[in-house]
Structure 1
Amino acid sequence: MPADPLFINESGGSPEYNAAELRRAFGMLASKAGTIDRFGARSGVHPAGGPALTLSGTTLTVGHLQAVMYPAASSTQGPYLVQLPQHTWSVPAAAAQPRKDLVVLRVYDNDEDGSGQRTADTEYLTGSAAPSPSEPSAPAGTMRLGVIDVPASGGGNPTLTYVAPWTVATGGVLPVRTAADLPTTGVYEGMYADVADTNQLVRWSSAAWDVVAEVPTAYNTYTPAFSGHGSASFSTLTGRWKRISYKTVHFIAYWVVSTAGTGTGNVTITAPTSIDRTVRQSVMGNLEGAASPSLRHVAAVSFTGGTGAVFDRLRFDSGGSTNSLSNLTGADLASGMLGVIQGIYMEA
């Protein structure tokens, strides 16, 4: 059955466009992420302007709301463009046990769902009080906007968690709050998304979301942890690290020994994050105050069979005529020795 391509000039009352035809056509301008329906679109709230819900005491305010809503009552229903002026809800009184409530956005369209209504609005769903409460189930065709945790009576004011998905027009970078909000349907190779909580730009590869860029972090502090050092104690034990690109970390570990170590066991030291074990990795540094000669090179080495954030050996030149390498043991940690290792490694 042929349909009119929008928009042909009207002549003599023809063509005419009904609401469903207009929704399906304008759906071309909305993001398809998250739906397999050709006439569908991603439900979500525009992310600009901050959260659309705020809570003060027991008054929940729904701010001016601009959203795309796709109830998916049928595969040809098409998405709705929704705008709602600011309005409020009063959180019901607390009970003897805590409770989780839910606010959703809902579209009623009698032509599609037989509801007898043609309207869009938010709805407040009161959960059941329980020692470990669960939020109410969101009705089919609705979009979760916020979860309200209501403590037991006398436990203080309720708190709000804003959970509305985000969406923008198709063709751009899709903003999402967390990786859990990344769609896996209605996606196409070359689609990009920005993950807010990790500051990562990701790309759909036709099989998975791959990280292509992320905002470098500021330098963080961390405290390296030694093992195998016996009785050694440290007057200084500190470090700095920064993720300079995806799964790539630059770090510095610095220590000063105040009480000499003991034992013949191999000394290990921790990195700030888990280390990739696909290949061996090595980070260079130096020791001062060791036995003659007092200045030596040292390397922190990770093994493919190792685990976690541990460099499995500290290897230093022996100071002998052949300049051979030895594993650093607890007994090598002389009082007053200082050491530093600094470099880049791949994260797990």
Structure 2
Amino acid sequence: MVATDPLWLPSISYDETELRKMDSALVMADGTALGSRPGIRAGDPGLAVSLAGTTVNVSAGTAVLYRSGQGVYRAQLAATSPGTLTAANASFSRIDLVYLRVWDTAVDASGLRKADTVYLAGTASASPAAPTPGATEIYIPLATITVPSTGGGGTGAATVSSTVRQVTVAPGGVLPVSSTADIAISGVYVGQARFNTVRMVPEYWTGTAWVAQGDWSSFSPTWTASTTNPTLGNGTLVTRWTRVGRSITWMGSLTVGSTTSGGSGTWQMTLPVAAASNGITMIGSADYVNLFDNEYVGLVEVQGGGTTVGFTSKVITSYYFTNVSNTSPVTTSSNSRLHWNITYEAAT
């Protein structure tokens, strides 16, 4: 197939491969040059696979297929029946595959340029797997059919699963993902959006991972003191934080070990994200527990524009609060614990 420009324009022609490669601009990228993600349109119920007795049926629909070097194939089909279910095995179950195929004689030397649906029976086995179409076939899977054995009590009906069915969207579209394989696929650009239907949350690609607003992450703060910095030794310092917009929630737990040194002076911890310069001192809750002693209720505070938090604790013998340190509210000992939780506004 060759396309030419109208007569009033300069004579330019494109072969079918060039036109298909141009169509890559219309489909979600797959992270390769000119690459496109094949699949059914998100929200399109077409090309659904069902069984009527032993007859395999596929409803009318449209889809996008892709092959490297050949570009994007757009296909639409009326309702079809690609075949009759192969008889069940007496001893083992089987997984069959139903897929949409495009014939392109430039790839498969078939002499054809058309689309159809295919029913491909799998091999009965103690650990059955869906079959794989031939290497030259341009296809997308539509469904698998699990066929139980006829012997050993395996008398159940064959069942259709659309788990292998892949969807695609236009560039910049929010892709719904539900299968384990799709959820595991990395994003192709920072800021790419998708909707995880298992977690039921929108997720965004950071360049290294898919994250959702409100996801919790680990953070290792730097523990310092105003005079001499502490050393953690065999103690533990664990913190977690989450972000929704510019709202940061951070919680942590410090447990002193036998080789921990509390340093000298007021304790501080670095924040996971700097606080906004809003002129407000943001306050959260803190709790200091000294083994075989008392529990000292207190506060954790961050100044507007700050990058660290400080801790204060109620002193049992007075009405006052004191800055938490190696010696206040009491001398630190092995298994002393400091816990805190604070929500504050982030600088950016």
Q: Same fold (TM over 0.5)?
A: yes
CA distance in 2, matches of 1:45, 1:156: 30
1:47 shift after superposition: 2.6
1:131 shift after superposition: 2.4
Structure 1 residue aligned with 2:49, among 50, 53, 61? Answer: 53
1:174 alignment partner in structure 2:
175
1:167 shift after superposition: 0.2
Contact 1:54 1:60 in 2 (8 A): yes
Contact 1:202 1:209 in 2 (8 A): no
1:137 shift after superposition: 2.1
1:159 alignment partner in structure 2:
159
Q: Which amino acid aligns with 1:155?
A: T
1:101 alignment partner in structure 2:
96
After superposition, where does 1:324-335 map in structure 2 within 5 Å? none
After superposition, where does 1:1-348 map in structure 2 within 5 Å? 9-11=6-8, 14-33=11-30, 35-36=31-32, 38-50=33-45, 52-72=48-68, 75=69, 77-88=70-81, 89-96=83-90, 97-140=92-135, 141-153=138-150, 155-162=155-162, 163-178=164-179, 180-182=181-183, 184=185, 187-206=188-207, 208-213=208-213, 245-247=214-216, 279=238
CA distance in 2, matches of 1:44, 1:200: 22
Deviations 1:215-274 (A, max 9, x none): xxxxxxxxxxxxxxxxxxxxxxxxxxxxxx4349xxxxxxxxxxxxxxxxxxxxxxxxxx
Judged with a 3 Å threshold, the aligned counterparts in structure 2 of structure 1 residues 57 and 209 are, in CA distance, closer, same or farther, namely farther
Deviations 1:160-196 (A, max 9, x none): 1111111011122122223531475781222111122
Judged with a 3 Å threshold, the aligned counterparts in structure 2 of structure 1 residues 15 and 186 are, in CA distance, closer, same or farther, namely farther
CA distance in 2, matches of 1:303, 1:60: 62
Deviations 1:24-43 (A, max 9, x none): 1122111112x51x233111
Contact 2:93 2:147 in 1 (8 A): yes
CA distance in 1, matches of 2:77, 2:148: 29
Deviations 1:108-163 (A, max 9, x none): 11123323321211211111112222221243332222111100126121011111
Judged with a 3 Å threshold, the aligned counterparts in structure 2 of structure 1 residues 212 and 280 are, in CA distance, closer, same or farther, namely closer
CA distance in 1, matches of 2:77, 2:158: 24
CA distance in 2, matches of 1:102, 1:148: 6
Judged with a 3 Å threshold, the aligned counterparts in structure 2 of structure 1 residues 280 and 28 are, in CA distance, closer, same or farther, namely closer
Q: Which amino acid aligns with 2:39?
A: G
1:54 shift after superposition: 2.9
Judged with a 3 Å threshold, the aligned counterparts in structure 2 of structure 1 residues 60 and 246 are, in CA distance, closer, same or farther, namely farther
Contact 1:165 1:177 in 2 (8 A): no
The size of the alignment, in residue pairs, is: 234
2:264 alignment partner in structure 1:
none
Q: Which amino acid aligns with 1:279?
A: V
- Identity within the alignment, %: 35
Contact 2:237 2:253 in 1 (8 A): no
CA distance in 2, matches of 1:11, 1:17: 17
Contact 1:65 1:83 in 2 (8 A): yes
1:50 shift after superposition: 3.8
Judged with a 3 Å threshold, the aligned counterparts in structure 2 of structure 1 residues 39 and 210 are, in CA distance, closer, same or farther, namely closer
Judged with a 3 Å threshold, the aligned counterparts in structure 2 of structure 1 residues 209 and 137 are, in CA distance, closer, same or farther, namely same
CA distance in 1, matches of 2:59, 2:34: 29
Unaligned runs of 5+ in 2: 218-235, 241-251, 257-288, 296-315, 318-328, 330-340, 343-348
Contact 2:4 2:11 in 1 (8 A): no
TM-score normalised by length of structure 1:
0.56
CA distance in 2, matches of 1:183, 1:171: 19
1:17 shift after superposition: 2.9
1:251 alignment partner in structure 2:
none
1:302 shift after superposition: 7.3
Judged with a 3 Å threshold, the aligned counterparts in structure 2 of structure 1 residues 27 and 14 are, in CA distance, closer, same or farther, namely same
1:205 shift after superposition: 2.1
Contact 1:200 1:211 in 2 (8 A): no
